[in-house]
Amino acid sequence: FAVTMGNVPCTVGLRLDGPVATSGGKITGTIYVSVTNKSQRASSLELRLTGEEFSVVHHTSTETNSSHDTHRSHGTQHHHERSSHTFYNIKYPISNFYNGQIHPGQYEFPFEIELPVNLPGSMHCEKGESRAGIRYKIEAVVVGTGSLFASNPNASQNLVVVADSRVNNEMVGISNPPEVIPIKTCCCFGGNGSMTLGSHVDKSIMHPTDGVMVNFSCKNDSKVEVRNVKVNLEEVVDWRAHGHTEQWCRNLDERVLGGAEEMPELARLDSVGKHYFGSSSGYGVLPANQPQRSVQLNVAADARDSYVGCLVNVQHYLTISLVTTGSCCTTNPESSMTVHVQRYSVQYEGEFAHPGPFTSPEPSAPPFESDAIGGLPVATVLPEGWHADVAEVVAIPLAQATSVKDS
């Protein structure tokens, strides 16, 4: 609950019934308006919801200063590039004021608004002094005050949005057909033979804590030894601001399997035939009796949603690697595929209870975390003697919402 208070004749407050919203779901709450002394000019009351990507990229530069005695000093300059992109900016009409005025009194406007199903979930990522994310703000605004020197009375709160996991929930697998990969080393660019690797994952869309079954087949037709086989699910977040980029990576899960001692098909050859010299990569065929290996990965509970935006990308890759014993120049064959991770919607999972039928609020409110909104003090409870005129619940379907830029 947040109310902006100050030496102003019109005060606005905003309370949400729940801390989390689901795309395709509804947000319920109450807007409070208090007018003292005399009627105030105002045309309407609106609720605005804004979603944006934001990015901050920290980078440094070296600055050289020369003095008259030819002494040079070097200093490091720190720079923070900032950028933002608004991808959702919608207003919902709550009330129109008769004759363009709000009369003295206290008012409550319960509301219920609908969200589109394709909103991305809130997220945040940091690396050093760089950071990026997706954030939402909901704001109640009294418009049409006619003031040129003061902003319209308003109150706002941050909102956490979780993408609805039921939108994309098909159990569709992904397969990479067997690929023949020539093996190269530092001392020899040919004549080492090749390895063949193919893979399959049982689902392309996965959720945090899900178990994912990965199957793969491989064969070593080279003189290079395979130390082990790594199977990992990686999360990569990258963001950009004014030509500068940052990237943050982590493994959501990883399994390391043994080499030829566990999988005889990975045993190296003592020699290779002439047909391997100068061979190129391409799709191959494994023998019908070639064993298929299986391993299960578990998606980390704190995995982010996959997302591709204007400033921020969150991507997930599942990779099977044949790690060889050669130097850093030796080929490590890989089979990689892009998968989609999506968090379960909290209402669907019951982590937060869905708001029940609306009831008129008591004249009090829970404490608000911040100390100020827009530079004004914040009240954590309604004023003493609060006796408001309570309007009917305003239920606004998505079709009645309008884009702010189109208004």
- 274 located within any domain: yes
Q: Flag whether pLDDT at 368 surpasses 60.
A: no
Q: Flag whether pLDDT at 249 surpasses 90.
A: yes
pLDDT reported for residue 366: 30
Same domain membership, residue 240 and residue 137: no
Q: Flag whether pLDDT at 191 surpasses 80.
A: no
Higher pLDDT, 271 or 403: 271
Same domain membership, residue 130 and residue 14: yes
pLDDT reported for residue 397: 73
- 129 located within any domain: yes
DSSP string for 108-138 = EEEEEEE--TTPPPPEEEEETTEEEEEEEEE
Number of domains in the chain: 2
Same domain membership, residue 316 and residue 381: no
**Sequence letter at residue 151:** S
Q: Flag whether pLDDT at 153 surpasses 90.
A: no
Higher pLDDT, 382 or 391: 391
Strands 26-35 and 105-114, bridge-based pairing: antiparallel
Same domain membership, residue 158 and residue 14: yes
Same domain membership, residue 129 and residue 23: yes
Q: Flag whether pLDDT at 287 surpasses 70.
A: yes
What average pLDDT does the structure give for the chain? 82
Nearest Cα to 362, choosing from 333, 336, 388? 388
> Residue 164's pLDDT band (boundaries 50, 70, 90)?
confident
pLDDT reported for residue 178: 92
pLDDT reported for residue 260: 92
Mean pLDDT score, 213-226: 93
Mean pLDDT score, 200-208: 92
Q: Flag whether pLDDT at 144 surpasses 60.
A: yes
Q: Which of these three, 341, 357, 384, is where a domain ends? A: 341
Which residues, other chains included, contact 199 with Cβ-Cβ below 8 Å and sequence gap of 6+?
A: 175, 176, 214, 215, 216, 217, 320, 335, 337
> Residue 201's pLDDT band (boundaries 50, 70, 90)?
very high
Taking CA atoms, 29 is separated from 184, 212, 379, 385, 395, in Å, by 64, 39, 17, 21, 11
DSSP-based three-state secondary structure for 17: coil
DSSP-based three-state secondary structure for 98: helix
Mean pLDDT score, 334-339: 95
pLDDT reported for residue 303: 94
Mean pLDDT score, 354-382: 39
Same domain membership, residue 387 and residue 249: no
pLDDT reported for residue 275: 53
CA 179 from centroid of its chain's CA atoms: 33
CA 147 from centroid of its chain's CA atoms: 38
The β-bridge partners of 230 are 256, 321
Rounded Cα gap, residues 287 and 377, in angstroms: 74
> Residue 350's pLDDT band (boundaries 50, 70, 90)?
very low
Q: Flag whether pLDDT at 352 surpasses 80.
A: no
pLDDT reported for residue 7: 52
Structure tokens that stand for 313 in this block? 């990308």
Same domain membership, residue 377 and residue 313: no
- 67 located within any domain: no
- 65 located within any domain: no
Higher pLDDT, 381 or 261: 261
Q: Which of these three, 291, 311, 341, is where a domain ends? A: 341
pLDDT reported for residue 351: 40
Task: Write out pLDDT tens, residues 289-322.
Answer: 788 999 999 999 999 999 999 999 999 999 999 9
Strand positions, DSSP E, 163-201: 174-182, 193-201
pLDDT reported for residue 36: 85
> Residue 357's pLDDT band (boundaries 50, 70, 90)?
very low
Same domain membership, residue 266 and residue 117: no
Instruction: Flag whether the pTM goes above 0.95.
Output: no
pLDDT reported for residue 369: 33
Q: Which of these three, 341, 365, 396, is where a domain ends? A: 341
Which residues, other chains included, contact 166 with Cβ-Cβ below 8 Å and sequence gap of 6+?
A: 345, 348
b/e per residue 26-44 (b: at least 16 CB within 10 A): bbbbbbbbbbeeebbebbe
Mean pLDDT score, 71-87: 86
Q: Distance from first CA to last CA of the chain, Å, rounded?
A: 28
Same domain membership, residue 12 and residue 120: yes
CATH at 121: 2.60.40.640
Mean pLDDT score, 15-34: 90
pLDDT reported for residue 192: 82
Q: Flag whether pLDDT at 362 surpasses 50.
A: no
Q: Give the lowest-confidence range in 50-64, 72-86, 114-128, 129-143.
A: 72-86
Rounded Cα gap, residues 200 and 231, in angstroms: 12
Mean pLDDT score, 145-162: 83
Beta-carbon-side half-sphere exposure of residue 116 (alpha carbons within 13 Å): 15
Structural domain harbouring 289: 174-341
Same domain membership, residue 321 and residue 201: yes
Same domain membership, residue 351 and residue 208: no
- 69 located within any domain: no
Q: Flag whether pLDDT at 225 surpasses 90.
A: yes
